[in-house]
Amino acid sequence: MPEVRVWAPNASRVRVTIAEPDGSIEHPVVITDLEPERELGCGSVASGWWRADVAEALPGRDYGFLLDDDEQVLPDPRSRWQPHGVHQPSRFYSDDFAWSDAGWHGHDLPDSVIYELHVGTFTQPGTFDAAIERLDYLAELGVTHVELLPVNDFNGEWNWGYDGVLWYAVHEAYGGPDGLKRLVDACHARGLAVVLDVVYNHLGASGNYLPRFGPYFKTGRSTWGELVNLDGESAGPVREYIIGNALMWLSEFHVDALRLDAVHALHDSSEVHLLAELSTRVKALSAEIGRPLVLIAESDLNDPIMFTDRAEGGYGLDGQWSDDVHHALHGLLSGERQAYYADYGSLAALAKVLTRAFFHDGIYSTFEGHLRGKPVDVKNTPGYRFVVCLQNHDQVGNRAAGDRLPRITSPGMLKVGATLLLTSPFTPLLWMGEEWAASTPWPFFTSHPEPEMAEATATGRVSEFAEHGWNADDVVNPQDPAAFTGAKLRWSERDDPEHAEILTLYRQLLRLRREQPDLAESRLNLVEVDFDEDAQWIVVHRGAFDVLANLADHAQDLPVASGDVLFGTEPGLRTDGRTITLPARSAAITGQIGAAGF
């Protein structure tokens, strides 16, 4: 008989209400009391879990929980399916998807190139099925991983996804749980691994019913909301709620990797940090199912503890985002120095991150006003552990107008940036449309149906940007539907000459990186950099190749080792074996033509 179970230690009575097939929860077929479970070995101590065997708990039927004497039907905190939104009943879901990826063996982090996308704006329909139609293009482009912004259920129709409140459910507007499985299955059929962005540091403000069930939160707040209870009273089931969710994506949905959002907001004083426990459990699952499972942290701490092995006192994750590489490139290419770009923009900063991954590695941060970070052991830490980018959802979307890099810098500098990124020792990440210099902005957008929340979100956004020096008139109203619809990629512009040129450049660079191991070599201690701050040129030595960039506004000669020009952002480049003349704001790769296969 089907079992219904829920953790609700805050309740003294729990009932489940179940509708008829295709019926309304307002006219349930059954309302049943659940019985409290007892702690093992402590027969009189309630565990906080409630359960019942209910014959009517069948797939396709809507259901919800009634706590104490309240008649409000609440969705299941572990609901897999929310067909009517986060404020409505859940639906029993049958995990009987017909997978076709039995031959998929996964893809570990080394030799990876990640393509980050938001399902709702990647295509005009904004669904998993519509995204499947673009997978052949991504495979041909040369990326290895598709990273999805959060797909857990959130309030409203559209959102970035970081305001999720039902972590186990897949947003229905995207296609629900089966839609996500179709997308993952289709990715694997094309040799593409799937990374899923997950958020465990906070919940959205609307539709968060977890406090009604149990002590999911503790005293204190982060930037985004109440602190999740990772180390307080009854924290064990909360931690298991998070870990169970991560394991669900990796097992039931066949996802290959998780990007853990803003882990610095996970306040955990436990003897074993949540991230360390998570990495241990995921490694066990990986061994059980026989394919690599990857955990990547987003952290602003610049602390190698994230990817240091458990045996050496670390958390044992596989990698982390390195914003320092982005900031060094962005500051140099755009000239911006506001807010957290204050310490960047020099060739010296770029040289440091290319060889040491972190810029702030124990030095003073002007923006934060204190010492920040710890050094990376470059002899023993491979560069692939750092996911780096020119653009991503944060760096574009957290600008007042959501303007992409092509709106901020010149085409020449854009090409220079792509060349430096895709020949770096790190794991490159591309933001959807970046590869053709997409013209569509990607601002912050929400669709809160509650007027007071909509107003608070809009005014809060203006205030936040004002603190960083933005003009209030430039800030896009996140509740304006045009903020969302205008962010959808226009795929037809790939054929326009100025966009096609950039797309060709990205394809060439990705092919070079794939075919020439030296250009993807991740040993940081082998990377050497020469530069002239005054003359504004830089040469990155990558084994048998030199990656050269002239960022000045005039042509100049740069020193090169022997070899030929394998790639240039401008046509007609030649070398005499000692120097190469690079036009203003251009880049080139020199080396042995025979080795490159050209």
Note the pLDDT of residue 44.
57
Residue given tokens 């770029």 in the structure block: 350
Read off the pTM.
0.97
469 vs 554: which has the higher pLDDT: 554
Chain segment 446-459, per-residue pLDDT in tens: 999 999 988 888 88
Note the pLDDT of residue 43.
56
Active-site residue identified among 62, 172, 197, 261 = 261
Question: What mean pLDDT, rounded, does the chain reach?
Answer: 95
Note the pLDDT of residue 563.
83
Note the pLDDT of residue 52.
97
Q: How far apart are CA 297 and CA 509, in angstroms?
A: 26
Query: Please, which pLDDT band fits residue 597 given cuts at 50, 70 and 90?
Result: very low
Chain segment 184-217, per-residue pLDDT in tens: 999 999 999 999 999 999 999 899 999 999 999 9
SS3 for 409?
A: coil
Active site residue 501: no
Chain segment 300-346, per-residue pLDDT in tens: 999 999 999 999 999 999 999 999 999 999 999 999 999 899 999 99
Active site residue 233: no
What sign for the dihedral angle of Cα 504, 507, 513, 514? negative
CATH number of 114-200+242-510: 3.20.20.80
**DSSP 8-class letter at 427:** E
Note the pLDDT of residue 41.
61
CA atoms within a 13 Å half-sphere pointing along the CA-CB vector of 381: 24
Residue 598 has pLDDT above 80, yes or no: no
Chain segment 466-503, per-residue pLDDT in tens: 777 778 788 999 999 999 999 999 999 999 999 999 99
**Helix, strand, coil percentages for the chain (3-state, nearest 5):** 30, 25, 45
Note the pLDDT of residue 42.
57
Note the pLDDT of residue 462.
80
Active-site residue identified among 56, 153, 277, 298 = 298
Alpha carbon 59 to chain centroid distance? 31
Note the pLDDT of residue 176.
98
Note the pLDDT of residue 596.
41
Note the pLDDT of residue 595.
47
Residue 40 has pLDDT above 90, yes or no: no
Chain segment 378-433, per-residue pLDDT in tens: 999 999 999 999 999 999 999 999 999 999 999 999 999 999 999 999 999 999 99
Region(s) of the chain under CATH 3.20.20.80 = 114-200+242-510
- Residues with Cβ within 8 Å of residue 4, at least 6 apart in sequence: 16, 32, 34, 51, 52, 53, 54, 57, 63
Mean pLDDT across 270-275: 97
CATH number of 528-596: 2.60.40.1180
Q: How far apart are CA 199 and CA 82, in angstroms?
A: 18
Query: Please, which pLDDT band fits residue 464 given cuts at 50, 70 and 90?
Result: confident
Chain segment 282-302, per-residue pLDDT in tens: 999 999 999 999 999 999 999
Chain segment 230-262, per-residue pLDDT in tens: 999 999 999 999 999 999 999 999 999 999 999
SS3 for 17?
A: strand
Percentage above 90 pLDDT, the chain:
89
Extract the tokens encoding 13.
Answer: 């009575």
Note the pLDDT of residue 45.
65
Residue 121 has pLDDT above 70, yes or no: yes
Region(s) of the chain under CATH 2.60.40.10 = 3-74
Chain segment 144-194, per-residue pLDDT in tens: 999 999 999 999 999 999 999 999 999 999 999 999 999 999 999 999 999
Mean pLDDT across 513-540: 98
Mean pLDDT across 501-508: 98
Alpha carbon 247 to chain centroid distance? 17
In our burial notation (b when 16+ CB lie closer than 10 A, e otherwise), range 558-567 reads: bebeebbbbb
Q: Does the domain formed by 3-74 have CATH 2.60.40.10?
A: yes
Mean pLDDT across 135-141: 98
Q: Which strand (E) or helix (H) includes residue 115?
A: strand 114-117
Region(s) of the chain under CATH 2.60.40.1180 = 528-596
Q: Starting at the edge strand that comes first in sequence, how are the strands of the sheet with 62-67 ordered?
A: 28-33, 14-19, 62-67, 90-91
